[in-house]
Structures are given as structure tokens and as C-alpha cells.
């Protein structure tokens, strides 16, 4: 019988973690596995973007609805559904299911538990995310495997201890035909930023940088694709700095990567990251990138990559853009080709899926008792 895996997630959109999950499920189907996505939402909530995308790709989905909070009754009901589906392993993608699965426990679930930590935002007390982060850290101790998406994440306090229960599997994306961005700039520099409009993405710093670049005369335009809680604040910032006509807010854009070739540079001013899918998509598409030296980004681009940014620094973005403008077309082409080669060598969907398959097989073959130690 083919291995059946349930991937559990409470999705807030169709961003990096969701794209990785969809890619992984498609690769697992090609491997002969039977992946199933369990997508959690609130009672009465309409179909989520992840659910729609999964159905379009032929990936089975359970749209699970239950009230917010720690609802063990809802999880017990879900457990019975998964048993009826003959699921053999549970793979969590986020703190909500990490906490709920840990509270039920491996013994009552009767299946190995795996969690992928796609990113880790350090919240401050007394923000409610501080509590969730603390509960998440405790919950992960009850998982058979905790997967980090970059080696740099091992430096986080929650994952520093040397234990075989923590491993690294790089994010990967499927290969497509590249649509390279233009390396010749005839008019203004066209910048692109993609992601949730939330503090850790650093888009407020990027807007400051655009204002500085355009201080004497308009030399660049920024297109921002994404939605989130900072939408109004970022628009107000652009207006106050006199940049409203130079910054376009597009809202959430499905499959943003198909538009990358229209822009000269993708800018990622993040304050924290794992291995962002948007970065891998740009490398695969031969779109030039300047990105903060945080999380797994230096690992992906290379520690000596000339376009790494100091996180939280508008001046660093300004200098990186100016440095890019000083390069010849040949130098720009050489840089994007190097990025493309790094993607092919290290960050393909095939390589990612093979590593997850090996992890699953080891857990199902050896059982969970071999990994009962805590970290």
C-alpha cells in the first residue's frame, strides 16, 4: 500500500509555506505516495486559497473547520477522520497544529509526528504571539522529527541543542522555463517586492529607500505585491514621503513569479526569514535579487554574494541599487546565471521531496521509540 501522509496547516494565504507544501505534495504524488492536505479554518469560512490551489493541482484536501483556540474535541474528531483515511504519518506546517497534535500526544494519535518550521518570528511579551511561540517550542519536543528549512535556523535558541530529532531540509521548487528579467535599463529602475505586509518583511524600510533614491529626481519605481495588516500604514508612509505616484500597491497577486520578468530587481528587505520561496523563484527565473543577510538567504545566494543587504537599513538598499546600476550588462547577466546555477544544484523540488521521503521511511520502519528522547 502506498504511504499516506496528512499535511496539516492553518493557512493565512498562498505564501511561501503554502507554495512549498503544494510543491512537496505534487512531488510526493510523483514518488507514488498519497499526500493529503488538512486545511484548518473557522466555522463557516469559505474555501481558502490553499484549498482552491490544491484542488486545481489534483491534491486531495480536507477542509477542516473548527472554532479558534485549543479545541481538543475538534482534534479528536479529526483524528478519527484521519484513521478512516488510513493515514500513516502526520506532518504539521505551523504552530497551531504543532500545539494541538502535541496535546493529543503520539500514543493517542498512533502515528509518527513531523513538523516543518518554515520560519520563526520572535514575538515580544505581552503580544499573544509570544504565548503561541512559547507553546510551540514546548510542543515541538513531542514530535519525532522537527525539520528546519535552513542551517541558519539552528542558531535560534529553540533549536541550538544537538539532537538527531532536529534536521534540515532545504526548501525546493519545481523547474520551469526561465523568463529572464531585462539587464539593460533604458528608463527608470523597476523594483519589485513580494510578501505579506507585516513588520518582519521590512517593507517600511524599502519605502524609505525608494524615497531616498528619488530624492533629487525620479529614478526608480516600486511595485509591491502582497496584503496584510500594514497595508494602510505603508500607503500612508508612501504618501507622506511624496512617493505615492512611484509606489504601486497591487495587493495579493496569485502566482506572482509569472510577473518577475517585467522588473529589473526583486528586493527582499526582510528582518527574518527561513528560505523564502520568492527568492528561489527569482533565481530560477533569472531575475536579479538584492536581499537581507538574514535566515537562510546567505546560504541560498552565497555568503559572499555582492547584493546582500544589512537588515533594517534603508541606506544599504540604496547603495545596493546604485551598485547594481553601475554594473555592465555582462556583469548583471553573469550574476543571475550564477544564481540560477545555485538553484539547480541545491534547491530543486526533486531534492527536497527525496529527503522528506527518506525521513518518512526511517520513522515508519524504525517506529517512534528510537526518538523518544527530549531536547
Buried b (16+ CB within 10 A) or exposed e, 320-332: bbeebeebeeeeb
Q: How far is CA 134 from CA 40, 96, 166, 200, 273, in A?
A: 21, 12, 18, 19, 19
Using the predicted structure, report yes or no on whether residue 373 has a pLDDT greater than 90. Answer: no
Buried b (16+ CB within 10 A) or exposed e, 13-49: bbbbbbbbbbbbbbbbbeeebbbbbbbbbeeeeeebb
Query: Are 106 and 98 within 8 A, CB to CB?
Result: no
**Mind listing the pLDDT tens digit for each residue in 287-336?**
999 999 998 899 999 998 999 999 999 999 999 999 999 999 999 999 99
pLDDT at residue 126, rounded to an integer: 63
Q: How many residues does the chain have?
A: 375
Residue 375, burial from CB neighbour count under 10 angstroms (0-12, 13-18, 19+): middle
What topology is assigned to 189-346 in CATH?
A: Rossmann fold (3.40.50)
The Cβ of residue 131 has, within 10 Å, a number of other Cβ atoms equal to 12
pLDDT at residue 369, rounded to an integer: 44
Distance CA 284, CA 337 (A): 9
**Mind listing the pLDDT tens digit for each residue in 221-230?**
999 999 999 9
Domain 4-174+349-371 class?
A: alpha beta
Q: How far is CA 50 from CA 38, 109, 313, in A?
A: 10, 25, 33
pLDDT at residue 367, rounded to an integer: 66
**Mind listing the pLDDT tens digit for each residue in 325-372?**
999 999 999 999 999 999 999 999 999 999 999 999 999 997 644 433
- CA atoms 273, 277, 280, 285: torsion sign: negative
**Mind listing the pLDDT tens digit for each residue in 125-184?**
666 667 778 888 899 999 999 999 988 888 887 787 768 899 999 999 998 888 999 888
Average pLDDT, the chain: 91
User: Which percentage of the chain shows pLDDT scores above 90?
Assistant: 74
Query: Are 25 and 7 within 8 A, CB to CB?
Result: yes
The Cβ of residue 283 has, within 10 Å, a number of other Cβ atoms equal to 26
**Mind listing the pLDDT tens digit for each residue in 14-68?**
888 999 999 999 999 999 999 999 999 999 999 999 999 999 999 999 999 999 8
Looking at residues 115-131, what average pLDDT do you find? Answer: 73
DSSP codes joined into one string, 97-141: HHHHHHHH-HHHHTS-EEEEE-------TTSHHHHHHHHHHHHGG
pLDDT at residue 132, rounded to an integer: 74
pLDDT at residue 295, rounded to an integer: 87
Distance CA 375, CA 373 (A): 7
Query: Are 309 and 317 within 8 A, CB to CB?
Result: yes
Query: Are 96 and 10 within 8 A, CB to CB?
Result: yes
Domain with CATH 3.40.50.2000 in the chain: 4-174+349-371, 189-346
Using the predicted structure, report yes or no on whether residue 254 has a pLDDT greater than 90. Answer: no
pLDDT at residue 124, rounded to an integer: 66
DSSP codes joined into one string, 24-55: HHHHHHHTT-EEEEEEEE-TTPPPPHHHHHHH
pLDDT at residue 161, rounded to an integer: 76
Q: Both ends of the chain: CA-CA distance in Å?
A: 34
The Cβ of residue 362 has, within 10 Å, a number of other Cβ atoms equal to 14
Amino acid at each position: 500500500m502506498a504511504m499516506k501522509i496528512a499535511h496539516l496547516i492553518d493557512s493565512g494565504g498562498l505564501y511561501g509555506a503554502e507554495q512549498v507544501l503544494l510543491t512537496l505534495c505534487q512531488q510526493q504524488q510523483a514518488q507514488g505516495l498519497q499526500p493529503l492536505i488538512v486545511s484548518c479554518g473557522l466555522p463557516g469560512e469559505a474555501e481558502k486559497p490553499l484549498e482552491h490551489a490544491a484542488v486545481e493541482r489534483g491534491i486531495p484536501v480536507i477542509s477542516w473547520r473548527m472554532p479558534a483556540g485549543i479545541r481538543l474535541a475538534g482534534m479528536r474528531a479529526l483524528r478519527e477522520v484521519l484513521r478512516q483515511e488510513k493515514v500513516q504519518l502526520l506532518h504539521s506546517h505551523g504552530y497551531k497544529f504543532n500545539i494541538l497534535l502535541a496535546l493529543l500526544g503520539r500514543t493517542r494519535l498512533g502515528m509518527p509526528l513531523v513538523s516543518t518550521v518554515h520560519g520563526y518570528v520572535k514575538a515580544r511579551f505581552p503580544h499573544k504571539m509570544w504565548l503561541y511561540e512559547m507553546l510551540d517550542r514546548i510542543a515541538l519536543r513531542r514530535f519525532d522529527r522537527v525539520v528546519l528549512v535552513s542551517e541558519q535556523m539552528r542558531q535560534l535558541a529553540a533549536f541550538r541543542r544537538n539532537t538527531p530529532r532536529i534536521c534540515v531540509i532545504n526548501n525546493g521548487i519545481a523547474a520551469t522555463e526561465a523568463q529572464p528579467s531585462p539587464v539593460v535599463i533604458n528608463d527608470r529602475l523597476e523594483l519589485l517586492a513580494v510578501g505579506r505586509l507585516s513588520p518582519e518583511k521590512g517593507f517600511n524600510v524599502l519605502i524609505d529607500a525608494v524615497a531616498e533614491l528619488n530624492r533629487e529626481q525620479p529614478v526608480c519605481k516600486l511595485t509591491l505585491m502582497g496584503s496584510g495588516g500594514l497595508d494602510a500604514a505603508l500607503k500612508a508612509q508612501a504618501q507622506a514621503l511624496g512617493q505615492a505616484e512611484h509606489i504601486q500597491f497591487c495587493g495579493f497577486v496569485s502566482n506572482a513569479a509569472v510577473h518577475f520578468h517585467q522588473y529589473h530587481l526583486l528586493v527582499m528587505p526582510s528582518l527574518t526569514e527561513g528560505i523564502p520561496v520568492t527568492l528561489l523563484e527569482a533565481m530560477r527565473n533569472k531575475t536579479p535579487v538584492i536581499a537581507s543577510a538574514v535566515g537562510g538567504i546567505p546560504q541560498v545566494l552565497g555568503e559572499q554574494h555582492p547584493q546582500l543587504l544589512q537588515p533594517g537599513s534603508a541606506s544599504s538598499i540604496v547603495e545596493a541599487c546604485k551598485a547594481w546600476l553601475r554594473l555592465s550588462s555582462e556583469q548583471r547577466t553573469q550574476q543571475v546565471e550564477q544564481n540560477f546555477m545555485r538553484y539547480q544544484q541545491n534547491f530543486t523540488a526533486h531534492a527536497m521531496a527525496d529527503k522528506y521521503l527518506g525521513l518518512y521511511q526511517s520513522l515508519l520502519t524504525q517506529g517512534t521509540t528510537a526518538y523518544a528522547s527530549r531536547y
